[in-house]
Chains A and B, each alone.
Chain A
């Protein structure tokens, strides 16, 4: 079974600064996907960024980038130029790429990020 661990229950950052959220995972699978989802207060969860395990290059989406260390099973999210709208709960999630695992997410406990003006 897969596990995902987010060791930072809460983080805060000043507007326009950079913050990094940590995530580690454990799996015996070789092919999988990793995601960061954002859940604003009372709003639905939306995808921030995804990474395929077979790709060595770290994914980037505008101000969001990841540091994917496959051997260390680490998958951190860096948010640059933080904005007030980034305030949300952030979840790291794992998805196996084979069989019935595909499409089924295992989530971490979440990190509450607060961006201060």
Chain B
């Protein structure tokens, strides 16, 4: 078990371009979460999946954002027509649904810089 893996770790792009981030959760974890963290702030919830089903989306997730988890394993977060305000760290976390501890296991994050 290598933990939650996120790629790429850092992405620099020009405004208007599309970017995609990938998250590979811990293998037996069926719940997967995406958070956004801006500099000096705490992470904010974006969306989460149980297996392949996207069960909740935050109002922070505008129409330019889309997340998928096609086979209930890895997940992708795509941002279309990026804006400078999208610059942030995008964190992925996972846990097993029946975990009694509620603990989430986080990846190291994907940092997006929009120029």
Same complex for A and B? Answer yes
Q: List residues of A whose CB falls within 8 A of some B CB.
A: 4, 6, 33, 35, 37, 42-47, 50, 91, 93, 95, 97, 100, 102-110
Residues 24-56 of B, flagged 1 when their CB comes within 8 A of A and 0 if not, give 000000010101000011111100100000011
Number of A-B contacts (CB under 8 A): 56
- The secondary-structure label for the interface of chain B is loop
Of listed B3, B4, B40, B106, residue having the most chain A CB within 10 A: B106
Q: Which residues of B come within 8 Å of A, CB atoms?
A: 3-4, 31, 33, 35, 40-45, 48, 55-56, 91, 95, 101-104, 106-109
Report B48 CB to chain A, min CB distance, Å.
Answer: 7
Q: In the complex, which of the residues B41, B44, B104 contacts A103, with contact meaning CB atoms closer than 8 Å?
A: B104
A102 and B98 CA atoms in complex are apart in Å by 10
- Whether the pair B40, A95 counts as a contact (CB closer than 8 A) is no
Contact, CB under 8 Å: B106 / A46 = yes
